[in-house]
């Protein structure tokens, strides 16, 4: 095994190289939100609610790793902004209220995705074919780090 392969195989060394790159990419993608007027936290909650229609505040708090009272405040702001609606579960437990994104939220999420994709695609166009192939090959292991399948 070559010396370069040994360095790359070292998880700590790789983490130290990967972390700042991922943080910079994340920072740049977050900047695309400013033009829309949404925060990264709001977008994250909207995405989670859209993926889990009818999710309750407590479950949402658990998924986002925060307290239920703290989440209630975030949800209330999203409701007041017209981005989330509370819907009573008529079929099951009528006391249970689930969260759903509104059409306005869908519009914001579509815009966010479009802006972020455009920003990233513009940078990818600057890369050589071999670099694009390397990024393509990295998608699956990166998704695995998050316990997700590559999209």
pLDDT in tens, 99-145: 999 999 999 999 999 999 999 999 999 999 999 999 999 999 999 99
**pLDDT value at position 60?**
95
Q: Which residues pair with 84 in a beta bridge?
A: 101
Residue reference for tokens 């994709």: 117
pTM of the model: 0.76
pLDDT tens, residue by residue, 16-57: 999 999 999 999 998 888 878 888 899 999 999 999 999 999
Residue 33 is predicted with a pLDDT of 85
Q: pLDDT, tens digit, for every residue of 48-103?
A: 999 999 999 999 999 999 999 999 999 999 999 999 999 987 666 667 789 999 99
Residue 115 makes CB contacts below 8 A (sequence gap 6+) with: 32, 33, 35, 36
Residue bearing tokens 């998050």: 146
Task: Name the 3-class secondary structure at 99.
Answer: strand
Domains along the sequence of the chain with CATH: 3-145 (1.10.10.10)
pLDDT score for 92: 64
Distance, in Å, from the CA atom of 112 to the CA atom of 101, rounded to the nearest integer, reads 15
- Cα separation, 61 vs 112, in Å, equals 23
In the block, tokens 């695609």 appear at: 121
């Amino acid at each position: 095994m070559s010396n370069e392969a040994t360095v790359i195989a070292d998880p700590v060394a790789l983490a130290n190289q990967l972390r700042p790159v991922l943080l910079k990419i994340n920072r740049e993608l977050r900047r695309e939100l400013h033009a829309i007027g949404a925060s990264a936290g709001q977008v994250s909650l909207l995405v989670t609610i859209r993926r889990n229609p009818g999710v309750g505040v407590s479950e949402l708090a658990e998924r986002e790793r925060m307290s239920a009272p703290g989440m209630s405040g975030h949800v209330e702001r999203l409701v007041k902004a017209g981005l989330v609606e509370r819907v009573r579960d008529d079929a099951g437990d009528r006391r249970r209220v689930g969260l759903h994104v509104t059409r306005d939220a869908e519009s914001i999420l579509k815009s966010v995705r479009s802006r972020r994709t455009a920003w990233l695609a513009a940078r990818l166009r600057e890369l050589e074919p071999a670099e694009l192939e390397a990024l393509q090959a990295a998608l699956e292991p990166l998704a695995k780090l998050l316990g997700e399948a590559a999209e």
